[in-house]
Amino acid sequence: MNERHLSERLLKVADFVPEGANLADIGSDHAYLPTYLALHDATLTAIAGEVNEGPYQSAVMQVKRSELTDRIKVRKGDGLNVIEVEDQINVISIAGMGGALIQTILEQGKDKLGAVERLILQPNVGAIFIREWLSQNGWVLIDEAILEEDEKIYEVLVAEKGTDQFLYKEQREAKLLLGPFLMKQCSAIFKKKWGHELKHWQQILKRLETAKETESNEQRKKELEQKILITKEALS
């Protein structure tokens, strides 16, 4: 992978970035996503944010090699702290992290979201944490995608400011867990992902049923039984 040939995962993220965006790519690693986008869209500008020194230096070198230092700023910092008011960022992408970590980044950086119009979020696991945060903080999902690459399955969530009162009017628990758009599409990759999860949960539940009865075990069993029921209904 390089700035001209992205992974399928990042290509899907790139598909949701509007033309002419002022993008902040958080956890940008080598800055492949913003450089790819800038090379394909002469009107796009970007911030490549990275908290770790090694990836930060890699991003700096990548932007220099691509001769895009006038349009892409590489900044070292934690989460959305790399964004400044004068950047006028209107799109934020966060890819390749756990859903719980992405949720934390958004929560801790709430004050940076005032002018942001779109969030493009690609969790490796735990997308439910993101959907819950969006629902509670004035953001509504407008699209989702699911893809498989190198035997791993990824989800991409796209949100804009608004209310989700109709999105989750029915089957709220199921939609938060599985994704409202992905449930509706019910693609082969979706079925594969949740079929694997279903088997995993059933194995855990079986072990818990023979384990010592404790309050925490009973609570865990109830949670698993609910997830199993939701997933079975979605796959049927």
DSSP β-bridge partners for residue 72:
46
Axis-axis angle for helices 32-40, 8-15 (nearest 10): 50
pLDDT in tens, 195-232: 999 999 999 999 998 888 888 889 999 999 999 999 99
Residue 3 — very low, low, confident or very high, per pLDDT cuts 50/70/90? low
Residue 27 — very low, low, confident or very high, per pLDDT cuts 50/70/90? very high
pLDDT in tens, 73-125: 999 999 999 999 999 999 999 999 999 999 999 999 999 999 999 999 999 99
